[in-house]
A and B are shown apart, each in its own frame.
Chain A
């Protein structure tokens, strides 16, 4: 659980992410976002639940679908929106767009265009944390698609043998692009697969932000006590296509509608807070309006920001220290 303020902050963050994604989707369809974008609408509780349990200087490394992780980590809507539009004011200074959001100095070791790669980097960050003797953890996000790439299990094994302070979070939206996870995953049970490596592994409700937060908080304590990694399979759902504008035939409209209507993470938390008397309509309306204003401001900021200077193409290819 948490205090009322914490609960309202989680609700607002999820609302902000949803508004951000739906706005960014429209902007992408209007040609404002270069290279497509991966909308996380529906998956907000995974990102917000995880980040609510982390300390600000814990490290994350993530996937091709990472707007929600990045916003929940504390990056502003302005800088994420600007990055989607490849603006110099963006998270990655306009060099990364939707798939490559990251700022090492702020503990965000990057989104990733390659399935499973971010989780491996998170494992490496956890090794760095352990060797430096710091009291932190790293979270490696991976999707359900990443459950069937060999590198994922190499990294889980390494984290387990070295007892690294790593939390593997499967942001499991059940579709690897357009392939239903159950069609391509032998054995079916991901925690069972992970537990073969000797670490705690469980499936959690990725639509329930409080459940995600609690599970990550436990995993974090476990890691900080020197016990090593935890594997959390957070089952969630993505409302939009893999990429903007994709309307595949691989799932039914009824299925999407069911998740949106009956299992939406924002609706669920709001309903609970209303029921518990922690939220009233006036506060909720105020939050809705402030989120709208925040995203409107972010879009204006992004649109008015400059693109990176083409003269800087060779800047930061390397440090220059080896080139004399």
Chain B
């Protein structure tokens, strides 16, 4: 049996099918045509669709996003590929003031996908920022954070058929992850969390790469007789707060984990909203696990000390299970 596709191949599959369906979709970014992107996310796509629809750009982030905004307003469906999410900082005005705010004022839509690889891995402070909360915070933007090949393809298809600017964040450490993917019409809706693991004793809410250490922590606790439910948010805006609140009501114990600095983070939003909505169902405080509020070091030991470990997640779960 042929092996299952990788997370990057899932993206290729989704973009290829949608480009075949819709001639208005095109991609632009750096190093896309020959290299196929820094994560092989569009490998072979230029050879299939040509240089007009897979455009190599100069390293001009502001112009790349501006080109996407203007072309989207004109009626095209651009995908701007920044390779690394950190590079969005060179185009924050184009993303926040322009892409996100145009629909509200100017009687038009901006169907623009901004894809980038994100998350914590290696190479230090300039390639390992966690901007999830920036983007989810901004009115007008939607944010996808797929944690599996299936969701990469399905969420991408949904985004390419909608009419809004979408920040599509793919985690570095999932690039080579293999798993099943859906067919041409297997769309994954935004705003619908997935139960990645069932369990009645506590709920762990997370997304993206953190699903993997979360799953390992849950297995450790299972060996100790406690079953932890894991919710994969899949998108951060819209966010499936209904699923989070239902989970609080179901298990009464909640841990929220990601690898962004804890202060003013997505985990804070989830804990606050769930506490407001379902305080009476909680057996004790929701516990958040995240990174220290430090730039990311290039040293592997420093990285480990900055972001949550499996044992940090286990400790948080043990704490809520002790209520």
Contacts and interface: CB of A to CB of B under 8 A. Distances in A.
B71 interface: yes
Interface residues of B, number: 49
A92 B105 contact: yes
A128 B66 contact: no
Given A124-B69, A151-B66, A317 B103 contact: yes
A123 B67 contact: yes
Contacts of B52: 131
A321 to B, nearest CB: 4
Contact of B67 (A113, A117, A127): A127
Interface string B1-41: 00000000000000000000000101000000000000000
A303 interface: no
Nearest to B28: A127
Quick one: which of A100, A108, A121, A129 has the most chain B CB within 10 A? A121
A162 B52 CA distance: 10
A151 B63 contact: yes
Contacts of A150: 62
Nearest to B159: A322
Nearest to A102: B106
Interface in B90-147: 93-94, 97-98, 102-109, 139-140, 142
Contacts of B156: none
A29 interface: no
A254 B104 CA distance: 43
A124 B66 contact: yes
Given A109-B70, A318-B164, A154 B62 contact: yes
Contacts of B106: 92, 96, 100, 102-104, 108-110
A155 B63 contact: yes
Contacts of B94: 117, 120, 151
A152 to B, nearest CB: 9
A114 interface: yes
A200 to B, nearest CB: 20
B191 A110 contact: no
A323 interface: yes
B140 to A, nearest CB: 6
A126 interface: yes
Contacts, number: 165
Interface in A251-282: none
Interface string B56-91: 011010111011111111111000000000000000
A122 B94 CA distance: 13
Nearest to B192: A324
Nearest to A166: B70
B164 A319 contact: yes
B238 to A, nearest CB: 5
B158 interface: yes
B189 interface: yes
B186 interface: no
B85 to A, nearest CB: 19
B162 interface: yes
A311 interface: no
Interface residues of A, number: 47
B209 interface: no
Contact of A104 (B107, B159, B238): B107
A162 B162 CA distance: 28
A113 B58 CA distance: 26
Contact of B66 (A121, A131, A161, A322): A121
A122 B60 contact: no
Nearest to A59: B74
Contacts of B104: 95, 316-317
Contact of A322 (B26, B69, B75, B191): B191
A316 B72 CA distance: 16
A210 interface: no
A110 B106 CA distance: 7
Contacts of A317: 103-104, 139-140
A321 B60 CA distance: 30
B92 to A, nearest CB: 11
B190 interface: yes
B58 A322 contact: no
Interface in A112-140: 112-114, 117, 120-129, 131-132, 138
B102 A110 contact: yes
A123 B63 contact: yes
B190 A117 contact: no
A109 B73 contact: yes
A127 B97 CA distance: 20
25 contacts: A92-B107, A95-B105, A102-B102, A104-B106, A110-B105, A114-B97, A117-B98, A122-B70, A124-B66, A124-B68, A124-B71, A124-B73, A124-B74, A128-B76, A151-B93, A155-B62, A157-B63, A321-B161, A321-B162, A322-B159, A322-B166, A322-B191, A323-B191, A324-B190, A324-B191
Interface of B: 24, 26, 52, 55, 57-58, 60, 62-64, 66-76, 93-94, 97-98, 102-109, 139-140, 142, 158-159, 161-164, 166, 189-192, 235, 238
Top 7 A-B pairs, shortest CB-CB distance: A124-B70, A104-B108, A128-B74, A120-B66, A154-B63, A154-B60, A128-B71
Given A102-B105, A323-B190, 7 more contacts: A59-B74, A93-B105, A109-B73, A117-B94, A128-B71, A131-B24, A131-B71
Interface of A: 59, 61, 92-93, 95-96, 100, 102-105, 108-110, 112-114, 117, 120-129, 131-132, 138, 150-151, 154-155, 157-158, 161-162, 316-319, 321-324
